[in-house]
Amino acid sequence: MWQCTGGNYLFAMQLLLFLAPLRGVTDHIFRAAFERCFGRFDYMLTPFITTVKGRGIAPSHIKDVTGEENDRLRLIPQILGNDPDDFLLLARHLHALGYQSINWNLGCPHPQVTRKKRGCGLLPYPEFIARFLERVIPALPGPLSIKVRLGLDDGDELKRLMPVLNRFPLSNVIIHPRTGRQGYSGSVDLDRFETAADLCRHPVVYNGDIASIDDFRDRRGRFPQISRWMIGRGVARNPFLLESIRNGHNRHVDYIVLRDFHDELFARNGVLLHGPAHLLGRMKEFWAYFSGNFQKSHDVLMSIQRCITIEMYRRKVDEAFARRGAV
Ligand SMILES: Cc1cc2nc3c(=O)[nH]c(=O)nc-3n(C[C@H](O)[C@H](O)[C@H](O)COP(=O)(O)O)c2cc1C
């Protein structure tokens, strides 16, 4: 039994909170800075790593997972691919690095991915998925989970796929209840999520559009049987949401901590990325999320987006935080 301190309800099951993978955002630098400033997720998925043809894995291809700061027990590398041999090559390499568990991406909606029958482009092909799992699962040294959408174009594809998934030992099935065609627009389809979750014999992780503690309470009220929850953009926008959900009450944004987080991302990405243009590009991606914490967020975002030098960027960041009285 797990009790929410300060909350007004008891959870019958222990909650497990997962950080969603956001490519270009939640890399090793983000994950380490996040934990230092805002606390720990129970599990974190890496942004996808694509399979590679051939015999070897170049160190640059897996640089997100090689650093010692990555906790091998709580970080789950995610693989995007559709060739069982290539998948096993990469998965075995990741196991050799100490990772216990692997996730298969069946959710990526980008046309250049789905066209090649990867990501959610595989969801209309249950037999293909069955053959892949028949080959991969017995040869994998550890557990496999999958991350799926409702379908590529048709929101009932996952329902039809579920009997196949139920035949295999999966550690969990993470469901983002949108179709690939939707991308990230429109709303999540909670009715279809419920249907798929009811059909699934594996532990199900809910993922999608939890941006506030009220969203979380709402979903949790509707799906009390679900104990595993994955959050991405909501914590990128407001990193205090993790603590709010754990404690059961809203934690207000502390701009000094947010600034500290920003500064770590800026400093470490400055070392990792070559040249000011790359650093500015990366920081602008973060501000697409952070700016939501500032008054006149659109103006703040625009002022950051217009920066063409590091000096200008530093000035605009100082101004944004100063207006909040944080520096
Ligand atoms: C910029 C961006 C990058 C993403 N990268 C990945 C990825 O590498 N692997 C993956 O499974 N999902 C990826 N996703 C999907 C998220 O993990 C998640 O399923 C989606 O954002 C819905 O959850 P949220 O509303 O909590 O963000 C990405 C989403 C965005 C917006």
21 CB within 6 A, ligand 1: yes
Kindly state the greatest CA–CA separation across the chain. 58
Going from the Cα of 208 to the center of ligand 1, the distance in angstroms, rounded, reads 9
pLDDT at 13: 64
Q: Is the CB of 20 under 6 A from ligand 1?
A: yes
Question: Residue 9: which pLDDT band, with cuts at 50, 70 and 90?
Answer: very low
Minimum-distance ligand 1 atom for the alpha carbon of 105: 11
Q: 231 CA distance to ligand 1 centroid (A)? A: 9
- pLDDT per position as a tens digit, 197-235: 999 999 999 999 999 999 999 999 999 999 999 999 999
CA 322–ligand 1 middle distance (angstroms): 31
CB of 210 within 6 A of ligand 1: the answer is yes
127-179 pLDDT tens trace? 999 999 999 999 999 999 999 999 999 999 999 999 999 999 999 999 999 99
184 lines ligand 1 (CB under 6 A): yes
Mutate-to-test residue for ligand 1 from 23, 80, 150, 284, highest number of ligand atoms within 8 A of CB: 23
11: exposed, middle or buried (C-beta count within 10 Å: 0-12, 13-18, 19+)?
Answer: middle
Does the beta carbon of 285 lie inside 6 Å of ligand 1? no
Give the global pTM: 0.95
Calculate mean pLDDT across residues 241-268: 96
Given a contact cutoff of 8 angstroms between Cβ atoms, the answer to whether 150 and 124 are in contact is no
3-state helix, strand, coil in the chain (%, to 5): 45, 15, 40
Sign of CA dihedral 286, 291, 292, 298: negative
Q: In terms of residues, how long is the chain? A: 327
How far, in Å, from the CA of 109 to the mean position of ligand 1?
Answer: 10
Q: Classify the C-alpha dihedral 202-203-205-206 as positive or negative.
A: positive
Q: What is the Cα 268 distance to its own chain's centre?
A: 21
Q: pLDDT (tens digit, 9 = 90+) per residue, 276-324?
A: 999 999 999 999 999 999 999 999 999 999 999 999 999 999 999 999 8
Q: Distance, CA 60 to ligand 1 centroid (Å)?
A: 22
Does ligand 1 have an atom closer than 6 angstroms to the CB of 248? Answer: no
Residue 233 alpha carbon, nearest atom of ligand 1: 27
Q: How many CA atoms lie within 13 A of 285 on its CB side?
A: 16
pLDDT of residue 325: 53
Strand (E) or helix (H) holding 218: helix 213-222
pLDDT category at 327 given cuts 50, 70, 90 is very low
Domain ranges of the chain: 2-247, 255-323
Question: Which residues, other chains included, contact 313 with Cβ-Cβ below 8 Å and sequence gap of 6+?
Answer: 280, 283, 304, 307
Q: Decide whether any atom of ligand 1 lies within 6 Å of the 47 Cβ.
A: yes
Q: Please state, as a whole number, how many other Cβ atoms lie within 10 Å of the Cβ of residue 278.
A: 13
Taking 80 as the threshold, does the pLDDT of residue 2 lie above it?
Answer: no
Please tell me the CATH superfamily of domain 2-247, with its number: Aldolase class I (3.20.20.70)
Q: What pLDDT is stored for residue 56 in this prediction?
A: 85
> Is residue 231 in contact with ligand 1, taking CB distance under 6 Å?
yes
Whether the pLDDT of residue 55 is over 80: the answer is: no
**Residue among 17, 120, 123, 233 whose CB has most ligand 1 atoms within 8 A, to mutate:** 233
CA 138–ligand 1 middle distance (angstroms) = 28
Atom of ligand 1 nearest to the CA of 48: 8
Q: Does residue 14 carry a pLDDT above 60? A: yes
Our answer on whether the CB atom of 188 is closer than 6 Å to any ligand 1 atom is: no
Provide the percentage of residues in the chain whose pLDDT is more than 70.
95
Confidence of residue 40 (pLDDT cuts 50, 70, 90): very high
Instruction: Give the DSSP letter of residue 253.
Output: P
Q: Per-residue confidence at 21, pLDDT binned at 50, 70, 90? A: very high
